[in-house]
C-alpha cells in the first residue's frame, strides 16, 4: 500500500463529513436565512425615510424606531378595525342563517320539485358523521393552531429585530463590509447597495399604487352593491392582494364575498366575478406597465422572476424576486459594453425592401451567363 493512500482516505472521509455537517446545518438554518433575507429587503424599503430623518439631525436609531413604530401602529389599527367588523358580520350571519337556509331550501324545492324542510336538513347535518369528525379534529387541532400562531409571532419578531438592526446600523454595516475589500470593490459594493435601495423603493411604490387602484375599483363595486363597510373592505382588498404573494388575491376576495353574502347571496357571485376579471386585468395590463415604469425591468422578466422566485423560495421568493432581479440587472448593466445600432429597417420590425436572396442569386447567375463570351469558331472536338 502506498504511503499516501491512508492519508488520502482520511482526507476524503473528513471532506465528506464536513459536507454532511454543512448540509445538515444549512437545512436547519434555512428558515433563519429566509427571515434575514426578508429583514434585509425590509430595511432597504425603510432606508429612504430613515435617511431623510437622519440627515435632518435625528439619531438614526430613533429615526428607525419611529418609522417601524408608525408602520406597526397602522397595521394594528387596520387589523383591529377589520376584526371588529368581521366579528359583527359573523354574528349577523349566525342570526340570519335560518332565513338564508329557508331561501335556499325553497329554491331547491321549486327548481327540482322536492319537499325538503329546514328541520330535516338541520337534523341530517347535526347527525352526520362528517360533522362529528370535523368537531373532533377541530378540538384536537386547537393546540396545533396555537403553536402555529406562536411560531408566526416569533418569526415576525425575528424579522422585525433584524430589519431594525440593518436599518439603524446601515452605515456601520456598510463600513464593516467595505473594510475587508480593496477600494475598487468598495465602490462597487456601495453602488450595488444604492441600486438595491432605489429598486426596492420603486417596487414598493408600484405595489402601493396598484393597491390604491385595486382598492378604488373594489370600493366602487361595493358601493354599487350597497355592501356595508365598503371603505374598510376596499383597503383590505388593496393591501392583501398586493403585499401577500400567490394567495393574496384569494384571501382579499374572500372577505368581501362573505360580507356581500350577508346582504344578498347573489351579490357574493358578483364580487367573485369582479375579483376574477380585475385580477386578469391587473396581471396582463396594469402590473407589467407599472413594474416597467417604476422598477425599470421588462414585463416578461418581471413575470419570469416571480415564477422563478416562487419555485425557489415560495412566497418569500415571489415577494422579493422583482426588486432582486431589478437590482442585479441594473448592477450588471454597467459592465455590458453597448454599441450603436445600425439603421436597418429590420431592427424596427420592418421587412427589407431589397429583393430576396434567391432572386439576387438568380440575377447574378444570369449576368454571368450573359457576359461569358461564346467559344471560337473552328474548335471541333
For the segment 7-55, what is each residue's pLDDT rounded down to a tens digit?
889 899 999 999 999 999 988 888 888 888 888 888 888 888 888 888 8
Distance of CA 331 to the CA centre of its chain: 22
238 Cβ contact partners less than 8 Å away, ≥ 6 residues apart? 210, 211, 212, 213, 214, 215, 218, 252
The span from the CA of 37 to the CA of 161, in Å, is 13
What confidence score (pLDDT) does residue 263 get? 79
Q: How far is the C-alpha of 61 from the C-alpha of 54, rounded, in Å?
A: 9
Angle of the 287-294 helix axis to the 299-313 helix axis, nearest 10: 100
Identify which has the larger pLDDT, 293 or 142: 293
Per-residue cell: 11: 482526507
pLDDT score recorded for residue 366: 66
Q: Check whether 141 has a pLDDT greater than 80.
A: no
* DSSP symbols for 298-332: -HHHHHHHHHHHHHHHTHHHHHHHHHHHHHHHHHH
Closest CA to 355 of 343, 366, 363: 363
Range in 26-40, 122-136, 174-188 with the lowest mean pLDDT:
122-136
Return the C-alpha torsion angle 297, 303, 306, 308, nearest 10: -100
**CA distances (Å), origin 321, targets 115, 355, 365:** 56, 47, 57
The Cα–Cα gap between 97 and 360 comes to: 81
pLDDT at 131 over 70: no
What value does the mean pLDDT of the chain take? 77
Average pLDDT over residues 355-381: 58
Give the Cα separation of 289 and 11 in Å (integer). Answer: 56
For 213-224, write each residue's pLDDT tens digit. Answer: 888 998 899 889
Nearest 5°: phi and psi at 180?
A: -100, 10
The tens digit of pLDDT for each residue in 321-367 reads 777 887 777 777 766 666 777 776 766 666 655 545 555 656 666 66
DSSP notation for 241-267:
HHHSTTTHHHHHHHHHHHHHHHH-HHH
Question: Does residue 374 surpass a pLDDT of 70?
Answer: no
Q: Left, alpha or beta for 296 (phi > 0: left; psi -120 to 50: alpha)? A: left
Given a cut of 50, is residue 90 above it in pLDDT? yes
What is the domain partition of the chain in residue ranges?
182-335
Q: Alpha-carbon distance 265 to 258, whole Å?
A: 9
Which of these ranges, 198-202, 260-264, 356-360, has the smallest mean pLDDT? 356-360
Evaluate whether 318 touches 310 at the Cβ level (below 8 Å).
Answer: yes
Q: What percent of the chain has pLDDT over 70?
A: 74
* Predicted local distance difference test score (pLDDT) of residue 139: 52
- Check residue 76 and give its pLDDT: 83
Give the percent of the chain with pLDDT over 90: 5
Q: Where are the alpha helices (DSSP H) in the chain?
A: 4-55, 60-112, 118-126, 129-140, 142-168, 170-178, 183-224, 230-243, 248-263, 265-281, 287-294, 299-313, 315-332, 357-371
Stretch among 141-155, 261-275, 311-325 having the lowest mean pLDDT: 141-155
| Mean pLDDT of the 100-107 span | 76
Dihedrals phi, psi of 227, to nearest 5 degrees: -90, 130
pLDDT of amino acid 258: 81
Q: What is the mean pLDDT of residues 114-118?
A: 74
Quote the cell numbers at residue 214: 385595486
pLDDT at 305 over 50: yes
Positive/negative CA dihedral, 136, 140, 141, 145? positive
Amino acid at each position: 500500500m502506498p504511503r499516501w493512500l491512508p492519508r488520502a482516505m482520511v482526507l476524503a472521509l473528513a471532506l465528506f463529513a464536513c459536507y454532511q455537517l454543512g448540509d445538515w446545518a444549512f437545512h436547519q438554518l434555512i428558515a433563519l436565512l429566509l427571515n434575514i433575507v426578508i429583514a434585509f429587503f425590509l430595511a432597504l424599503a425603510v432606508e429612504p425615510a430613515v435617511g431623510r430623518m437622519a440627515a435632518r439631525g435625528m439619531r438614526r436609531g430613533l429615526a428607525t424606531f419611529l418609522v417601524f413604530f408608525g408602520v406597526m401602529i397602522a397595521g394594528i389599527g387596520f387589523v383591529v378595525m377589520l376584526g371588529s367588523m368581521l366579528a359583527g358580520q359573523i354574528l349577523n350571519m349566525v342570526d340570519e342563517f335560518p332565513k338564508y337556509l329557508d331561501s335556499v331550501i325553497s329554491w331547491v324545492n321549486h327548481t327540482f320539485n322536492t319537499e325538503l324542510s329546514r328541520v330535516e336538513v338541520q337534523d341530517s347535518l347535526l347527525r352526520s358523521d362528517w360533522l362529528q369528525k370535523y368537531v373532533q379534529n377541530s378540538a384536537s387541532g386547537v393546540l396545533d393552531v396555537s403553536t402555529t400562531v406562536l411560531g408566526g409571532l416569533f418569526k415576525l419578531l425575528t424579522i422585525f429585530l433584524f430589519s431594525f438592526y440593518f436599518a439603524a446600523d446601515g452605515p456601520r454595516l456598510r463600513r464593516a463590509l467595505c473594510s475587508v475589500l480593496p477600494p475598487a470593490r468598495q465602490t462597487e459594493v456601495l453602488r450595488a447597495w444604492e441600486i438595491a435601495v432605489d429598486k426596492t423603493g420603486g417596487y414598493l411604490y408600484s405595489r402601493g399604487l396598484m393597491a390604491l387602484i385595486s382598492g378604488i375599483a373594489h370600493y366602487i363595486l361595493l358601493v354599487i352593491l350597497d355592501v356595508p363597510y365598503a371603505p374598510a373592505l376596499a383597503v383590505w382588498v388593496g393591501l392583501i392582494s398586493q403585499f401577500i404573494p400567490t394567495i393574496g388575491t384569494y384571501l382579499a376576495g374572500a372577505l368581501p364575498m362573505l360580507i356581500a353574502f350577508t346582504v344578498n347571496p347573489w351579490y357574493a357571485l358578483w364580487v367573485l366575478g369582479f375579483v376574477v376579471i380585475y385580477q386578469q386585468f391587473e396581471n396582463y395590463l396594469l402590473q407589467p406597465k407599472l413594474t416597467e415604469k417604476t422598477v425599470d425591468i421588462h414585463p416578461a422578466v418581471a413575470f419570469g422572476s416571480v415564477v422563478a422566485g416562487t419555485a425557489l423560495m415560495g412566497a418569500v421568493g415571489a415577494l422579493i424576486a422583482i426588486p432582486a432581479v431589478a437590482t442585479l440587472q441594473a448592477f450588471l448593466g454597467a459592465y455590458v459594453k453597448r454599441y450603436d445600432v445600425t439603421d436597418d429597417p429590420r431592427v424596427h420590425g420592418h421587412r427589407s425592401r431589397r429583393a430576396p436572396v434567391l432572386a439576387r442569386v438568380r440575377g447574378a447567375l444570369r449576368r454571368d451567363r450573359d457576359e461569358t463570351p461564346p467559344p471560337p469558331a473552328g474548335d471541333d472536338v
